[in-house]
Amino acid sequence: MTQLRTRFPELQEGVPLAPLTTMKIGGDARYFLTVTKREDLVDALRIAREEQIPVFFLGGGSNVLISSQGFAGLVIKNEMRAMRVEGNRIIAESGVILASVIKAAKDNGLVGLAPLHGVPGTFGAAVRGNCGVPQCETGDFVVSAVLLDKNLAYKTVDREYFGYSYRHSHLKESGEIVVEATIELLPGGDPKQIQEEMMIMLKSRKAKQPWGKSGGSFFKNPTREYSAGFLVDQVGGKGMRVGDALVSEMHANFFQNAGHATSEEMQSLASLIKQRVKEQFNIALEEEVEFIEARPSAKGHYRGAGGLVATDHGAVEYGGGYNFLEGVRFPPQCAVYLHGVLCWYPCRNTPSWDSIEQ
């Protein structure tokens, strides 16, 4: 029996993940735990690491497409939600809903976040993914953050550490978890005026974006010249459908679950669109929404951060999610998921990184 159950009697099994995402797609989590305290997070990650259980760290589920096969590991739902305002700074734990941070800023007359009003999800995911709108990005306001690294050690980093760019930070590769972050805003704003700005943003969002089950923009904008929505529209994407996966008629970069769509249907639809855009514009669209595979898989088949497993015969990547397996040795066998298939390699035959890449 897993030690997770001993340490966390509230641990659940077979929890449906679809309701915890905005796309409403995803099978069951083998294990499921909600964390409200960072000590619990560290303990859960430590036990999962010792027992070689893959981990997926879930925020508000608004930027993920979870496999309809579920997740064969531990899903940790982030509900660490302490927040305080100090002068023109807001210090919030990563599980605080972004909307609550925006509201706290408004209530305290702190200017800057209003354009982000209406973006769902948690503060931590916004800090990690540099969530943004044309007017600003989350990274613009970050001063520092407390992260949890793969050795389960806390580290305090400044803004530079993130290496922010469009919808990206270095954390997407490192797999570090944002535990808490501090943002700095302009003081002296009028809460009423900020509220008005927020309402304008929401109105414009409602006018341009469809409501319903989606993950927001499906693809990243590939260039300044062409938005992903424009390209999808140009290749006749609007209204395209695979099963219940549908490209919105209102906004071509919104892929909707029009009923009971599966992750496979959503991925097939995305592949078709990508192929058309590649053929007609020679542009390779890249997903903004992250696909979470049911099982850890080899590099290239999962977009999230994976772990490097040091074996006697070189390093191989052990799948996606925050599996925190770095440094773990696998005598006498090594398990690797290749194309979703679990392969056991005797250590002497452990494939090299290069052979997995091919």
Ligand X SMILES: Cc1cc2nc3c(=O)[nH]c(=O)nc-3n(C[C@H](O)[C@H](O)[C@H](O)COP(=O)(O)OP(=O)(O)OC[C@H]3O[C@@H](n4cnc5c(N)ncnc54)[C@H](O)[C@@H]3O)c2cc1C
- For position 88 contacting ligand X by CB under 6 A, the verdict is no
Residue-level length of the chain: 358
165 is catalytic: no
- For position 55 contacting ligand X by CB under 6 A, the verdict is no
Binding positions for ligand X, 300-339, rule CB under 6 A: 304
- For position 131 contacting ligand X by CB under 6 A, the verdict is yes
- For position 121 contacting ligand X by CB under 6 A, the verdict is yes
Binding positions for ligand X, 133-162, rule CB under 6 A: 133
Binding positions for ligand X, 157-186, rule CB under 6 A: 167, 171, 177-178
Number of residues lying near ligand X (CB under 6 A):
32
* Catalytic residue chosen out of the listed positions 38, 49, 128, 167: 167
DSSP helix/strand/coil, 239: coil
* Catalytic residue chosen out of the listed positions 62, 169, 214, 217: 217
Handedness of CA 65, 68, 69, 71 (dihedral sign): positive
The neighbour count for residue 40, using CB atoms within 10 Å, is 17
Q: Which of 215, 229, 237, 351 binds ligand X (CB under 6 A)?
A: 215
Q: Which of 48, 101, 113, 125 binds ligand X (CB under 6 A)?
A: 125
- For position 62 contacting ligand X by CB under 6 A, the verdict is yes
Residue pair 83/100 in contact (Cβ under 8 Å)? The answer is yes
Q: Is the peptide bond before 332 cis (omega within 30 degrees of 0)?
A: yes
* Pairing verdict, β 55-58 and 314-317: unpaired
Find the distance separating the first CA and the last CA of the chain, reported in whole Å. 37
Q: How far apart are CA 50 and CA 3, in angstroms?
A: 9
The residue type at 305: A
With CB under 6 A as the contact rule, which of the stretches 42-50, 113-121, 262-270, 325-333 interacts with ligand X? 113-121
Q: How far apart are CA 143 and CA 136, in angstroms?
A: 15
Specify burial of residue 6 (Cβ count, 10 A radius: 0-12, 13-18, 19+). Answer: exposed
**Residue (264 or 290) nearer to ligand X, CB:** 290
167 is catalytic: yes
With CB under 6 A as the contact rule, which of the stretches 4-12, 115-123, 323-331, 339-347 interacts with ligand X? 115-123
**Residue (104 or 334) nearer to ligand X, CB:** 104
The residue type at 323: N
- For position 54 contacting ligand X by CB under 6 A, the verdict is no
With CB under 6 A as the contact rule, which of the stretches 29-37, 56-64, 255-263, 330-338 interacts with ligand X? 56-64
**Residue (133 or 240) nearer to ligand X, CB:** 133
Residue pair 82/232 in contact (Cβ under 8 Å)? The answer is no
Q: Which residue matches tokens 């803004």?
A: 159
**Shortest spacing between CB 172 and ligand X, in angstroms:** 8
DSSP 134-177: TTEEGGGTEEEEEEE-TTS-EEEEEHHHH--BTTB-THHHH-PE
For residue 259, what are the CA distances in angstroms to 23, 242, 255? 10, 12, 12
Q: How far apart are CA 340 and CA 319, in angstroms?
A: 9
**Shortest spacing between CB 188 and ligand X, in angstroms:** 26
Q: Which of 24, 49, 106, 128 binds ligand X (CB under 6 A)?
A: 128
DSSP H/E element including 276: helix 263-281
With CB under 6 A as the contact rule, which of the stretches 101-109, 208-216, 255-263, 335-343 interacts with ligand X? 208-216
* Catalytic residue chosen out of the listed positions 288, 295, 297, 317: 288
Q: Which of 26, 54, 70, 120 binds ligand X (CB under 6 A)?
A: 120
Structure tokens at 94: 């990563």
Q: Which of 119, 183, 242, 298 binds ligand X (CB under 6 A)?
A: 119
Q: Which residues sit at the interface with ligand X, rule CB under 6 A?
A: 22, 57-64, 78, 94, 119-122, 124-126, 128-129, 131-133, 167, 171, 177-178, 214-216, 290, 304
So which residues are the catalytic ones? 167, 217, 288
